[in-house]
Structure 1
Amino acid sequence: MAILALPTDTMALGRRLPQLLAGLVLYGVSMGLMYRAALGLDPWDVFHQGLAQHLRLSIGTVVFLTGACVLLLWIPLRQRPGVGTVGNVLILGVAMDATLALLPAQHQLAVRIPLLAVGIALNGLATGLYIGARLGPGPRDGLMTGLHRRTGRSLRLLRTGLELTVLLAGVGLGGNAGVGTVAYALSIGPLAQFFLRWCTVPAAASPMVARNE
């Protein structure tokens, strides 16, 4: 049965896989930078932080566990993960925890504000890199597109609904929402769109096939 979408073109080895890896690592790093800024996280990380506090696990571990659980929701939606989907689950939490281990907590606002700005900008670049590699969406993005395909609801409505849900749940669990959350919500769309123009591998150079096992 076909369970994973895999690339067969040689460009996958020459550009797309390294670009995917770089994007996912940088995404995890950007999450760590925004966490250390302590000015408010993106909606999913507000949820991850709140859950981590209750489970007494590292936030990176919770990112991994949440990604794996969201991926299970793809099954009834008949979504098939790609290499990038699996990589997203495995890499983001590790990269985030590694960043937090290397970067101590910051207390001066003069440091935290630039840290937030760099984290958001790096997140936009990372999004462009890993999505532009065309090797499969992350579990959370795939959940949104799967619901869109099955329900016919608009992507904007579904994205807003999902992110508001996890944000409210995260706040209820004690996660940190603040000015950084608003700044992320307002800027990540334009940033991702800008970087996708430069990072997306042309479709003609990136066929995807299903491997039967």
Structure 2
Amino acid sequence: MNQRWITYTLVVISTAVTAFGITLVLLAELGVDPISTFLLGGLNFVPIRFGTGSQIFSLTFLVINYFLNPKFFGIGSIIFSIGCGYFINLFLTMDLMAALPLQSIPNIFIALIGILIYGIGTGLFLFTKTGTGPLEGLMFFLSTRLNVTIKVTRMVIDGILVATGILLGGLYGFGTILCIFLIGPIIELSLRVFTFLGNSVKKVA
């Protein structure tokens, strides 16, 4: 029971961390992450809040993931998908630029920090093995089917989302390009590091 509580505590923490990273990318105002580019394009036609749109997007892909492979779906998938939208809404209502000393930091560094946090948070969530996120299930599926690395698969998925978002009139910029090329590698590296640390702790225990 204690192990289960630890696992799902990590799920909640990783969800908040991922959402915080996404929020920092938004605040950097150098474009947004690929999912946000897609969502902001879609929100030009559907008048709902960004966080709400994120939840709808996530739940839609969770259903797709389930049909691709039921193992991709778990309780953690629901917490992560719904929770990200909730935390994004929460962080956007805070004046983080004033609460944190971000005004003195160049926007490019804020975007890079956000991307790093985003990737680490997602890697931590995948480490819990309680399901996958909305894009991560598709990422694992295509990676296995096409026999390519996770980072390459994620880059392709993100690139398609950005291209579609741009066609819909979504926001994009240099930060968006950075997301395409950095999020996948950071997720892959983070997952490896967390897995290594987890195995090390089990050996010591």
Which bin holds the TM-score, normalised by the shorter protein? 0.7 to 0.9
For the 8 Å contact 1:79–1:142, the answer to whether it is kept is no
How far residue 63 of structure 1 moved from its aligned partner, in angstroms, is 0.7
TM score, norm. by length of structure 1? 0.77
Q: Does the alignment pair 1:164 with 2:159?
A: yes
Give the structure 1 partner of residue 26 of structure 2: 35
Q: 1:145 to 1:57 in 2, by over 3 A?
A: same
Q: 1:148 to 1:128 in 2, by over 3 A?
A: closer
Unaligned segments of structure 1, at least 5 residues: 1-8, 206-213
Report the more deviating stretch, 179-188 or 34-43: 179-188
For the 8 Å contact 1:47–1:171, the answer to whether it is kept is yes
Q: Does the alignment pair 1:94 with 2:89?
A: no
How far residue 67 of structure 1 moved from its aligned partner, in angstroms, is 0.9
Q: Please tell me the residue identity of whatever aligns with 1:53.
A: N
TM score, norm. by length of structure 2? 0.80
Q: 1:185 to 1:166 in 2, by over 3 A?
A: closer
How far residue 158 of structure 1 moved from its aligned partner, in angstroms, is 5.0
Deviations 1:9-55 (A, max 9, x none): 64222x32111110011111111111111112222221012112321
Runs of 4 or more above 4 Å deviation: 108-111, 155-158
Report the more deviating stretch, 162-171 or 58-67: 162-171
Unaligned segments of structure 2, at least 5 residues: none
Deviations 1:50-86 (A, max 9, x none): 1123212111111100111112223442424112211
Give the structure 2 partner of residue 146 of structure 1: 141
Instruction: Give the counterpart of 1:45 among 29, 32, 36.
Output: 36
**SS of match in other structure, 2:70:** coil
Deviations 1:101-125 (A, max 9, x none): 113789x795533321221121122
Matched residues, number: 194
Deviations 1:142-176 (A, max 9, x none): 12333556xx3234575444323221111112212
Percent identity (aligned) = 23
Q: Please tell me the residue identity of whatever aligns with 1:153.
A: L
For the 8 Å contact 2:12–2:80, the answer to whether it is kept is no
**SS of match in other structure, 2:30:** coil
Give the structure 1 partner of residue 74 of structure 2: 82
**Once superposed, what is the RMSD of the aligned Cα atoms?**
2.9
Greater share of helix = 2
In the alignment, the residues of structure 1 paired with residue 193 and residue 142 of structure 2 have an alpha-carbon distance, to the nearest angstrom, of: 28
In the alignment, the residues of structure 2 paired with residue 124 and residue 77 of structure 1 have an alpha-carbon distance, to the nearest angstrom, of: 23
Give the structure 2 partner of residue 62 of structure 1: 53
For the 8 Å contact 2:127–2:191, the answer to whether it is kept is yes
**SS of match in other structure, 1:16:** helix
